[in-house]
Amino acid sequence: MNILAPFAKKSEVEPLTKAGASELYCGLVDSAWQKTYTLVSSINLRHDKIANLESLEELKQSCEIAHSLGSKVFLTLNAHFYSEKQLPIVMQQAEEAVKAGVDSLIIADASIISKIHKEFDVEISLSTGNPVFNSQAIDFFADLGVSRMVFPRHLTVEEIKELAGHAREKKMSTECFVLNVICPYIDGLCTFQHLVEESLGFTKATSLACRASYKATALGKESDEKKRIAEGHASLWSNSIMRDCGLCAIPFFKKFEVDSVKIAGRAHSLEKKLSDVKAVKQAIELTNSNASKERFRELYFELFHNKCDYKNCYYAGVGFE
């Protein structure tokens, strides 16, 4: 099972690879795009400089370092959609990224998937910005030229099992999120901006709008414990400390033959990224040794220095049956 980790600087490639990441992903917002569209209209859904490379030359050098160490590089071009005027710039960046050596492009906008598939010799990974809910969607994107997909964050492990099986039939590789920044909503339907820096020059960044306070109440005939888990999972808005974790779901993903587990957090510090990669690597080792769920909870404490709790669970209740 591969570990797909984020990076935002060329200098992060080597330490992340040596820590255990065999796949790396990044974004690039160059000066030309910033001048015309600013960071508010990002080419890759991240609206902050600290989450992005700054030049194609840095991307090329990052690919060279990663490939020399046996890792792959994925570039995000995953805005939900692009305007007619933006499309030529997006296609140009795709072409230049392929020439720079990227192994895969992460794309959300269905209107450019087929075009990129026909014009460039590069794998296409479907972004969670265009979520797949059923096998018919997998068929559709496979026909467009998608060779890999990441499952939407809100799916249950049972749903992932079914979809992973169908993806294999279509010869598509798959990945699942396991750490950081779980979205309590559906990524592909999100219209919020994810501002991380203190300001963008004209407006001061505030707390994420999607973390606004609300209360969720579970109804039905399920047990009180299951309702408590469901309410907690639906109330991730209160988890602004970003201790979101799905490490204990890795044993399920291994059974489902999921190819990669993905760590969110392009804007995080290198120290945080390294600790995340090491934790995921250890979780995979625990999976291979059939370790107990209690050992996964201990791993959570080692990573976050807090007790594992259902509210932080990526996949509702997986570690709390």
Per the structure block, which two tokens stand in for 136?
A: 């018919």
Cα–Cα dist 261/4, whole Å: 6
Question: Of 277, 284, 269, 268, nearest to 303 (Cα)?
Answer: 277
Q: What is the pTM of this model?
A: 0.86
Cα–Cα dist 162/153, whole Å: 15
Query: What domains lie within the chain, and their CATH numbers?
Result: 2-312 (3.20.20.380)
The per-residue pLDDT for range 19-62, each reduced to its tens digit, is 999 999 999 988 778 888 877 788 887 777 788 998 999 999 99
Mean pLDDT to the nearest integer, 191-210: 53
The answer to whether 113 and 77 have CB atoms below 8 angstroms apart is no
The per-residue pLDDT for range 122-138, each reduced to its tens digit, is 999 999 888 899 999 99
